[in-house]
Every structure is written in C-alpha cells, then in structure tokens.
Amino acid sequence: MAESRQAPIYSQPDRCAIKYVQWFTIAWMSAEATIALIAAVRSHSVTLFAFGADSAIELLSAVTVLWRFSTVREQTEATASKITGWLLIALAMYITADSTYTLIAAVSKPQPSYVGIALLAAAGLIMPWLAHRKRQLAAVAESTSLRADAVQSSICGYMSWIALAGLLLSASLHISWADPIAALALLPIVLKEAKQSLKGHACCED
C-alpha cells in the first residue's frame, strides 16, 4: 500500500507572513485588474486588456496559495492550476485575434491611456518586490505553490514593462500600431505561463 504523503508543517510566524503577503497580493491584483480593464475599454487598448485579464487570472493563483496555507488541501491547488492554464490559453487566443483585427481592420484605434501608463509603472515596481518576498518565504516554508506564485509575480512585472513600452510609444509618438504589437509581444510569456500551469509547477521549479 502506498504511503500517505504528509503535509509540510509551517511555523506560526511563517504562516502569518505568507498570509500577509498573499492578502496584499490579492488586494493589489484586484485593483490592478479592475483599473487595467476599465482603462482598456475606455482607450480601446488590447495591451491593457491583456494585462488586466492576466492580472485577474493571477488573482486566482494568489487566492489558491492563501487557501493552500489555510486548509492544506493539495487537490485545490492542482485544480486551480489547471483552470489557470486553460484561462491563459483563452487569453492568448484573444490577444492574437484582437491584435490582428486592430492592426488590420479596426476603425477605432487604441488611444493613449495615462491611467494605464501610471498603473503599469506602479506594477513594474511592486511586482518584482512581491516576487522577491514570496521567494524568500517559499524557501523558508519549502513551498512549491508559493514558489510558483512568486514566478507569476515576476512574470507580471515583465509584462508590465513590455506593455508600458507599447503605451508610451502610442502616447508619445501617436503610433497606433504600438499597442497591438506590444500585446502580441506578451504572447510568449502568457503561453509559457499557461504551459507551466497545466503541468502544475513553476517555470523555475527544480
């Protein structure tokens, strides 16, 4: 008979620190997704919509990790990881279709969004810090799920800088195609994230 796998035991300070950083992540990702999606609709920005949708999907990851450290139900983590992967694939399909349409046939071209630019600049600073903090806690707690969430925070940071470059080009030089091109530049990151989520482990996992 196979041996039952024993759940890791975390100290109370570690558990509290992990819950604190996850609650902060949930609050930030909720605000990030909401602001990005509203700004995307107002400015017809494919890049902002892609970033906002990815933020909403990463919110699921943050909630899952918080639940993981509250209930230690591993099945919850595996199920959420699969859902995340398929949502990211759907997002990649949307980015491809909408970016192509915007480049070729759309009448309403993306407009500058200064709210979006400010949001992306903030995300580019906050998400790397969050990723670093999560990696520290993951090493202490020996948590694969938290390490995976740290990778997703890093990816969000990378995405914010790519998206910011597109929006700055669009706003400063009035290049309408910069927005959908920046969205397409996010595709490799989104697809890699989807692949790793469907496999159920982090990009940088040993």
In a domain, 2, yes or no: no
Q: Is 25 part of any domain?
A: yes
Q: What is the pTM of this model?
A: 0.76
pLDDT attached to residue 36: 94
pLDDT digits (tens, 9 = 90+) for 119-139: 999 999 999 999 999 888 888
Is residue 52 predicted with pLDDT exceeding 80? yes
Q: How many domains does the chain have?
A: 1
Judge whether 51 and 36 are in contact, CB under 8 Å: yes
Q: Is residue 117 part of a domain?
A: yes
In a domain, 116, yes or no: yes
Domain CATH number, residue 169: 1.20.1510
Q: With helix as H, strand as E and coil as C, how does 25-87 read?
A: HHHHHHHHHHHHHHHHHHHCCHHHHHHHHHHHHHHHHHHHHHHHHHHCCHHHHHHHHHHHHHH
Buried b (16+ CB within 10 A) or exposed e, 162-198: bbbbbbbbbbeeeebebbbbbbbbbbebbeebbebbb
Whether residue 4 lies inside any domain: the answer is no
Instruction: Provide the domain limits for residue 75.
Output: 12-199
Query: Mean pLDDT across the chain, nearest whole number?
Result: 80
Query: Please, what is the end-to-end C-alpha distance for the chain in angstroms?
Result: 28
- Is 3 among the domain residues? no
User: Which residues contact residue 165 at a Cβ distance below 8 angstroms, ignoring those fewer than 6 apart?
Assistant: 182
Is the predicted pLDDT of residue 178 greater than 50, yes or no? Answer: yes
Give a yes or no: residue 46 inside a domain: yes
For tokens 């597109």, the residue is 166
% residues pLDDT > 90 (the chain)? 19
Per-residue model confidence as pLDDT tens digits over 180-200:
888 888 888 888 878 877 776
**68 or 98: which leads in pLDDT:** 98
Specify if 204 maps to a domain: no
Residue 108 pLDDT exceeds 70: no
